[in-house]
Structure 1
Amino acid sequence: MLEWITNAIATLGYVGVALLMLLENVIPPIPSEIIMPLAGFAAARGELNFGWAVFAGTVGSVAGALLWYYIGQALGIVRVKKLVDRYGRWVSLSSRDVDIAQRWLLKRGYWAVGLCRVIPGVRTYISIPAGFARMKMLGFLTYSTVGTVIWVAFLTYAGYLLGDNYERIETYIAPVSRAVIIGLIAATVFWIARRRMNPPEPPG
């Protein structure tokens, strides 16, 4: 995969960076932790401009986020609630919980979108609930773009500094990514356990 990524950037330049970052959002095994540090390394060698590399990576990544947003929107809140009512009893979820989550996301969720865009492992999929909650596009795009710029610029700069050791950035980030995912799983399990011990009152 590394050779394929390297060839795409060498052949297509900024377009290759943008396309790879789009694919990274659609096909998670393609890691941004390799794409953007490699672009940073290319910038350090004078083959790419650092600013334009960050711009291209951001454009591709935000395009991928928009794709998942529209998938969530097409799925729709009604369909999500039906799925939760049908299968959610196994984890003590109901359509009422979906309504609560939707209200929270619409009221306070913009910052969550921006934050999740810099967290490995979850940065891609935050767009789905934003889509089915029909979060306002301007807010979603703004916060998603800000978070993406931070993530992309960090990776690109790391590759710029590390030079031909740019691959090491994935080694550094991998433990953080695992820790975040384990933490999210633990928080979910804890929440489900609390729900089972203290089921919500049925609506009056």
Structure 2
Amino acid sequence: MISSALVALSAADAEYEGFIGWVLSLMQTLGEIGVGVAVLLETFIPPIPSEAVLPGAGFLAYAGKMSFWWAWIAATAGALIGAWIWYALGAALGRDRTRRLVGAIPLMETEDFDKAETFFQRWGGVAVLVGRCVPLVRSFISIPAGIERMPLWKFTAYTLLGSGIWNGVWIGLGFAFGPAIEPVLAQWSGVLSKAVLAVIALLVLWFIVARLLRLRRQKRTAATADEPDARAG
């Protein structure tokens, strides 16, 4: 069964297209290290979702192209390195400078930082642990941890546990469904790639539109509140 899948995979390698083809090519070229690189990139470029990368690693492990366990270790190491970088930035910049920096980013508000900080202060290590399994949050939860100077050993332990579980689930799904994934990828990789990118684009568009509408409502509210003061003056 596996040998026939290997033959089919080898024959179809050149046919993989789009985003999926790029991900599989990266991981096949660099091996397990490519899995770690992809996860590290996702830490800084959230539109590259690990949910779309890790199953590909599991599929390649099923097909004998890489080791399941080394792929899992590399993915977890990539997540940890990215988390350390965000942690270091938070520790170096401190609360006030980070808050001002977030407020200066287009479509971001200091309120976004305040919410993340409040969430971390309330839940501490649990926030880091659970945050590793939530898109976008897993990239930024490390910042308040650095600002609050959470002990590095504890931050590392929670990050390893959360990332290890998350990566194991998604790589495991790609491995378990390898027999079903192979013929689908061989025939529909281009269409699936476009679908993945379309979903990512829609999510980004939704965020931008929702944030612009929110900012517009806030400006209207502020303008309405200023009118009585202007009349009184």
Highest CA radius of gyration, 1 or 2?
A: 2
RMSD: 3.5
Task: Give the one of 62, 71, 76 matched to 1:53.
Answer: 71
Query: Does structure 1 residue 133 correspond to structure 2 residue 148?
Result: yes
Instruction: Give the corresponding residue for 1:68.
Output: 86
Q: Distance in 2 between matches of 1:48 and 1:92?
A: 44
Cα offset, 1:105, TM superposition:
3.7
Instruction: Give the corresponding residue for 1:38.
Output: 56
Verify the 8 A CA contact 2:130 2:162 in the aligned structure 1.
yes
Verify the 8 A CA contact 1:114 1:143 in the aligned structure 2.
yes
Verify the 8 A CA contact 2:83 2:142 in the aligned structure 1.
yes
Q: Distance in 1 between matches of 2:133 and 2:61?
A: 22
Q: Distance in 2 between matches of 1:83 and 1:6?
A: 36
Q: Distance in 2 between matches of 1:124 and 1:70?
A: 13
Q: Distance in 1 between matches of 2:103 and 2:46?
A: 29
Task: Give the one of 14, 20, 38 matched to 1:20.
Answer: 38
Cα offset, 1:3, TM superposition:
2.3
Q: Give the gaps of 5 or more residues in structure 1.
A: 190-204
Amino acid at match of 2:51: E
Deviations 1:175-199 (A, max 9, x none): xxx7xx99xx9xxx9xxxxxxxxxx
Q: Give the gaps of 5 or more residues in structure 2.
A: 1-18, 215-233
Mean Cα deviation higher: 118-127 or 40-49: 118-127
Cα 1:108–1:23 change in 2 (3 A) is same
Verify the 8 A CA contact 2:46 2:135 in the aligned structure 1.
no
Instruction: Give the corresponding residue for 1:145.
Output: 160
Q: Distance in 1 between matches of 2:99 and 2:63?
A: 52
Instruction: Give the corresponding residue for 2:222.
Output: none
Deviations 1:144-185 (A, max 9, x none): 1100001100110111122235888x97xx7xxx7xx99xx9
Amino acid at match of 1:29: P
Cα offset, 1:30, TM superposition:
1.8
Q: Distance in 2 between matches of 1:23 and 1:57?
A: 11
Cα 1:81–1:154 change in 2 (3 A) is closer
Cα offset, 1:78, TM superposition:
3.7
Superposed, 1:117-196 pairs within 5 Å as 117-163=132-178, 164=182
Q: Distance in 1 between matches of 2:43 and 2:98?
A: 22
Verify the 8 A CA contact 2:90 2:98 in the aligned structure 1.
no
Give the structure-1-normalised TM-score.
Answer: 0.69
Q: Quick check: which one's helix share is greater?
A: 2
